Structure 1
Amino acid sequence: MNVHHDPFADLPPADDMPPDDRFGPPHNPFLEDAVPRASRFFPASEWSGKPVPPREWLVRDLVPSRTVTLLGGDGGTGKSLLALQLAYAVATGGAWLGRGVAGGGALFISAEDDEAELHRRLADVVQSSGGSFDDLDRLTLRSFAGEDALLAMLDRSGGVLLASALFHEIEKRIAEENPALVVLDTLADLFPGNENDRAQARQFVGLLRGLAIKHECALLLLSHPSLSGLNSGSGTSGSTAWNNSVRSRLYLERVIQDGYEANPDARLLSTKKANYGRNGGEISVTWQGGVFVADAPETGLDRMAAGAKAERVFLKLLAAFTAQGRRVNGNGGPTYAPKMFADSAEAEGVTKRAFKAAMDALYNKGKIRNETTGPASRPVTYLCMGDA
């Protein structure tokens, strides 16, 4: 008599078995053991008669408190130094790029630079300000160069980010010191997932934003742009969720026009996103003596003088090119006047952008005009002096 043997009879109870896809979805303790949320729902009428809380800033219009700001920049541009200068200003109650900052403690965490490099950079910052290392008891540094610096880990499904042991260590330090600013340098060393994955990007920023809200601090996260973000000037990298998830995004870049960098020490800090302020703001800075210094703001008279010079040089070059039989046009292409003039040895330092603004102004004043020649099938339009 044949007796059927159950192949599963000798297996241990299901609760003692490891997860196996053959027997259904894997056991996920992160979901099953989760603590129920204690959400607070309330009617908006609860705010009746209460004052509207003011917006809290670390640096007004640039770095808001209680949230995450993303500071991007290509490698070697100087974003780590700029962030270190901000941490120094917060810890000493000073100014950053000529702007006031909220005073308090600062925690600077670097996964790129070792302690010796941080020491050298901070020494330049201290010297430039006329201060002393004795004044920096509220600035805490930690280098993870050469160490595991991941602030999160992926669960077994590979889709959920969980805070790492290092994350909890840093949060404990934040709770102890109560800093006004936490700097994390850089995203590539701290994030364990795929930067093109929208869900993972949002989860990671959510973890950091939770820190900022809970401990009432500004969190500055440094990042590198992708090649396309670098070439386009957007400064982005990976999923659009990085830009969408943060409340503020700044970008530090070199000043390059038409492939030429006139001043290797010049940088431009621009506001690419500002949920609580105005987009498009720009701060020109120059590297001097180991630190970045804000350039003197251009006055209305400065702009008028620069515009007048650009118009004068434009007319001078147009006359010279016309006398040489070299036609230029105002519409683009190989003979585009602003480009041709900017490339001339007689440009007197006027840029292509300035020549474009001058050309528009001269059109409006009637000092230049378009002339068209040639057959109707192939007309040629070029610039010539106007009648004004």
Structure 2
Amino acid sequence: MLPIKLADPAQRYSATALKSGLRLVSSNASTPPRIGGRPIHATGPAGNPLLRTYPDGERTQALTELVGRLLSQGHDAEEVVQIAQDWNMRQNPPLDVDKVWRTVESLAKTDARNHPERHKGPLTPLFDIADANIDLLLRTSPSPRRWLLRDMLPLGIVGMIVAPGGTGKSQFVLQMGVTVATGIPLCDVWQGGERGTALLLLAEDEIDEVHRRLDRIITELSPSHPAMAADLRKGLFIKSLTASNNLMTRAQRRGDVEATDYVDRLLLTVAGIPDLKLIVIDPASRFRGGDENAADDTTRFIEQLERLRHATGATVLVCHHANKASMNPMTGTRGQAATRGSSAMTDGVRWQLNLSPPAKEAKAGLDATKHYLSAEQTKSNYGPPIDAEILIRKPNGYLIGLRASGVPVTLEDRVLQLIRDEAALGKSYSANQIENTFGGEGGSLKAGMNSVRKAVNALLNVGKIRRDRGKLVAMPNKPITSATDAGSIP
């Protein structure tokens, strides 16, 4: 039997002395048995579980209770194994030795998980202070900022796209993946930065729906980018993860949140992807456990995204749902406050873009027959703020920027185009005729007569149309853009 240190750290005890000290043999001593300086509480020989023997059928339960009691008193697993083995030798017949080991090992793991305060090791430094020396930073020039989307989205950060359900965030990130793989501007607005490979992990969309959306994007862009299919084969990977467990963090029974092995497995999966530049996680709710309103639980999830970013060097974008208060275009909460759950989500990421229906003031004057989406950068730790963009959802679902659409959008645009189209047919109208013929309920301009009058006056004021013998004439060589500059719409 191996000797174990008792109260005197300088003395080694024999098996006989150990048993005597633990009251495994008769003793007249009045003090309770001790190990490692801690008493093993008992009511006397008759009530001491170390001295009792148990019949067949009760020994396993008695062993479990003994081991649990010893662990709860703060004895370490090595001590408990020795005591349990000594107890087992008193049983007739004894349990299998391996079973005793397994019982202690299993209960010790459970105790460590449920009571970490009893298993604290010695304190160690957080890091080597030499690693915080800034001498290298003072002697060298910083590397230039690298961009995934030029001057808009940096490469190698954790970012977030926030949107209400059904708004268009999945379409948006799919087009972003196409941009990374091909270099085609995102929504015809944002220029691509470094090209590379994009991996989209989509836990809400089935692969059939992804197929339809991708086909529509290719149909939209391939006439002007004939090589895009070849670029997409090399640079775009999409995995539908519906109906599967994708949790990067999981709530434990004691309430706190711990990381799963998901990120480690994902890193093994992407190890063979060349030049990985973008990883999309859509949506956050399918990849995180715990309470989304708890800051600590949210931070544990952000840490897993940061591990993924650090290991791959890619930009990691997580899609997250907006809160209910932000969904009302009239009174909705905007900016960083639109994020659902704890504000630790916004605090933890380095970049955030909100997609939402345009606010009431932004929609004023826009063609009510079209579908719009506001893209607002609400957080960027690495660059100046950029203006919000109004995106148009085309009938095929493709998102294109208002300024890049090349089609009449505002009421002024449509009035100007109407005058030109009618002139091509040999027809001309006065201001009152435009108002009465095409405005009002049922009019092709889909706007009230007063609004049409204001649009005509705005076009006259900026010189895009003029009066010729009472009739309105469009000025030549004028681009079809809003008289109020669509780019200034908030």
In the superposition, the TM-score normalised over structure 1's length comes to: 0.69
Query: Structure 2: which 5+ runs fail to align?
Result: 1-42, 51-61, 72-76, 78-103, 414-446, 459-490
Who is 1:257 aligned against?
360
| Counterpart among 104, 115, 137 of residue 196 in structure 2 | 104
Distance 1:6 1:293 in 2: 80
Query: Alpha-carbon deviations, 1:114-163, whole Å to 9, x = none?
Result: 1111111111111111055443222111111121221222345332321x
Q: How far is 1:173 from its partner?
A: 2.4
Distance 2:131 2:350 in 1: 24
Query: Alpha-carbon deviations, 1:264-289, whole Å to 9, x = none?
Result: 52111001111112336211211123
Number of residue pairs matched by the alignment: 311
Mapped pair 1:195 → 2:284: no
Mapped pair 1:293 → 2:371: no
Who is 1:278 aligned against?
384
Distance 1:23 1:69 in 2: 35
Distance 1:237 1:264 in 2: 28
Instruction: Go from structure 1 to structure 2 and tell me whether the alpha carbon gap of 1:52 and 1:286 turns closer, same or farther (over 3 Å shift).
Output: same
Larger radius of gyration: 2
The structure with higher relative contact order (CA 8 Å, sep 6+) is 1
Instruction: Go from structure 1 to structure 2 and tell me whether the alpha carbon gap of 1:42 and 1:26 turns closer, same or farther (over 3 Å shift).
Output: closer
Mapped pair 1:88 → 2:178: yes
Who is 2:333 aligned against?
232
User: Is the Cα contact below 8 Å between 1:103 and 1:180 reproduced in 2?
Assistant: yes
Instruction: Go from structure 1 to structure 2 and tell me whether the alpha carbon gap of 1:208 and 1:18 turns closer, same or farther (over 3 Å shift).
Output: same
Question: Which amino acid is 2:221 matched to?
Answer: S
Distance 1:139 1:58 in 2: 15
Who is 2:152 aligned against?
62
Query: Alpha-carbon deviations, 1:158-211, whole Å to 9, x = none?
Result: 32321x233222222233214100011001111111111111112211210221
Distance 2:214 2:122 in 1: 45
Give the SS at the match of 1:204.
helix
Distance 1:116 1:133 in 2: 18
1:165-176 to 2 correspondences below 5 Å = 165-176=261-272
Q: How far is 1:3 from its partner?
A: 5.8
Mapped pair 1:115 → 2:222: no
Give the SS at the match of 1:290.
coil
Distance 1:185 1:82 in 2: 11
Query: Alpha-carbon deviations, 1:57-94, whole Å to 9, x = none?
Result: 21134322221111011111111101000101111232
Distance 1:236 1:67 in 2: 19
Who is 1:336 aligned against?
none
Distance 2:118 2:206 in 1: 38
Give the SS at the match of 2:239.
strand
Give the SS at the match of 2:254.
coil
Between 1:15-24 and 1:241-250, the stretch displaced more is 15-24
| Counterpart among 11, 15, 18 of residue 107 in structure 2 | 18
Q: Please identify which structure carries the higher strand content.
A: 1
Question: Which amino acid is 1:78 matched to?
Answer: G
Query: Alpha-carbon deviations, 1:206-259, whole Å to 9, x = none?
Result: 210221122111111101111123321232111111111111110011124179
Distance 2:221 2:397 in 1: 11
User: Is the Cα contact below 8 Å between 2:393 and 2:399 reproduced in 1?
Assistant: yes
Q: How far is 1:34 from its partner?
A: 12
Distance 1:211 1:349 in 2: 57
In the superposition, the TM-score normalised over structure 2's length comes to: 0.56
Give the SS at the match of 2:107.
coil
Mapped pair 1:346 → 2:437: no
Distance 1:122 1:349 in 2: 42
Mapped pair 1:215 → 2:312: yes
Instruction: Go from structure 1 to structure 2 and tell me whether the alpha carbon gap of 1:139 and 1:81 turns closer, same or farther (over 3 Å shift).
Output: same
RMSD: 3.8
Distance 2:375 2:120 in 1: 43
Q: How far is 1:293 from its partner?
A: 1.0
Instruction: Go from structure 1 to structure 2 and tell me whether the alpha carbon gap of 1:116 and 1:243 turns closer, same or farther (over 3 Å shift).
Output: same
Q: How far is 1:45 from its partner?
A: 2.5
Instruction: Go from structure 1 to structure 2 and tell me whether the alpha carbon gap of 1:35 and 1:168 turns closer, same or farther (over 3 Å shift).
Output: farther
User: Is the Cα contact below 8 Å between 1:61 and 1:274 reproduced in 2?
Assistant: no
Mapped pair 1:140 → 2:246: no
Question: Which amino acid is 2:324 matched to?
Answer: L
Query: Alpha-carbon deviations, 1:17-75, whole Å to 9, x = none?
Result: 62699999625899869999765623222223311111222113432222111101111
Give the SS at the match of 2:132.
coil
Identity value in percent: 22
Distance 2:345 2:112 in 1: 38
Mapped pair 1:6 → 2:107: no
User: Is the Cα contact below 8 Å between 1:272 and 1:280 reproduced in 2?
Assistant: no
User: Is the Cα contact below 8 Å between 1:247 and 1:273 reproduced in 2?
Assistant: yes
Query: Structure 1: which 5+ runs fail to align?
Result: 307-342, 355-388
Distance 1:32 1:198 in 2: 27
Instruction: Go from structure 1 to structure 2 and tell me whether the alpha carbon gap of 1:31 and 1:138 turns closer, same or farther (over 3 Å shift).
Output: farther
Instruction: Go from structure 1 to structure 2 and tell me whether the alpha carbon gap of 1:94 and 1:151 turns closer, same or farther (over 3 Å shift).
Output: same
User: Is the Cα contact below 8 Å between 2:152 and 2:386 reproduced in 1?
Assistant: no
User: Is the Cα contact below 8 Å between 1:153 and 1:192 reproduced in 2?
Assistant: yes
Distance 1:175 1:29 in 2: 39
Mapped pair 1:206 → 2:307: no
Distance 2:163 2:109 in 1: 45
User: Is the Cα contact below 8 Å between 1:229 and 1:237 reproduced in 2?
Assistant: no
Distance 2:112 2:143 in 1: 54
Distance 1:170 1:122 in 2: 24
